[in-house]
Chain A
Amino acid sequence: AQKITQTQPGMFVQEKEAVTLDCTYDTSDQSYGLFWYKQPSSGEMIFLIYQGSYDEQNATEGRYSLNFQKARKSANLVISASQLGDSAMYFCAMRETSGNTGKLIFGQGTTLQVKP
């Protein structure tokens, strides 16, 4: 069964430093998408970055990059130059293709706190 694992319940980072949030996944699908979402304390779910299973290059979106290691089934999020506004819960998710639904499966999330 598909599964997403985030092993860091909470992380601290100093403002302006980089931080890596870990994510490992398990799937038997050949085609899948990996996503990171940010959930601030206000509650909304904000899409950050995407990596496809066939993509050879790591995805980047501004200060966000995804360190994709397919053989190790990991998709870590790297946030560079952390800002106070980055304090939030971060979810790694996988969009499956089996079962003809394409639903997202989420990890348990990592709470990131940025210190001034």
Chain B
Amino acid sequence: DSGVTQTPKHLITATGQRVTLRCSPRSGDLSVYWYQQSLDQGLQFLIHYYNGEERAKGNILERFSAQQFPDLHSELNLSSLELGDSALYFCASSVGAASSYNSPLHFGNGTRLTVT
């Protein structure tokens, strides 16, 4: 058990809809990273929050947004969903950011999103 909790495990929704994915990091971890894993794109970095502040954006679509709350949990909001958004979405946490390069990211079990 990594200590990172992601809900829900599975999500099935229709095109055009909006969903929210939730992540609770390990106790004491200040960084939350979101990744998207699809068959054709591999593991793609979406966005990083550190202690409530956005630190970096990767290949995140404008239809997607995220935030990290004062209790450090994070939510990833996906709107105007398209078939191509179907993927496994991971949240990962770490105690720090760049200075913690010698520590692993700990991953949640992911949310499998299916857009029909």
Contacts and interface: CB of A to CB of B under 8 A. Distances in A.
B83 interface: no
B31 A44 contact: no
Nearest to A45: B107
B41 to A, nearest CB: 10
Contacts, number: 80
Contacts of A91: 43
A95 B109 CA distance: 20
Contacts of A104: 33, 45, 92, 105
Contacts of A107: 42
Interface string A73-116: 00000000000000000010001111111111111110000000
Nearest to B45: A103
Contacts of A103: 33, 45, 48, 56, 58
Contact of A106 (B43, B56, B104): B43
Given A43-B109, A100-B55, A106 B42 contact: yes
Nearest to A100: B98
Nearest to A48: B104
Interface in B41-97: 42-43, 45, 48, 55-56, 58, 88, 90, 92, 94, 96-97
Interface of B: 2, 31, 33, 42-43, 45, 48, 55-56, 58, 88, 90, 92, 94, 96-107, 109-110, 112
Interface of A: 31-33, 35, 37, 43-45, 47, 50, 52, 91, 95-109
8 contacts: A35-B105, A37-B107, A45-B107, A96-B101, A99-B56, A102-B98, A103-B58, A109-B42
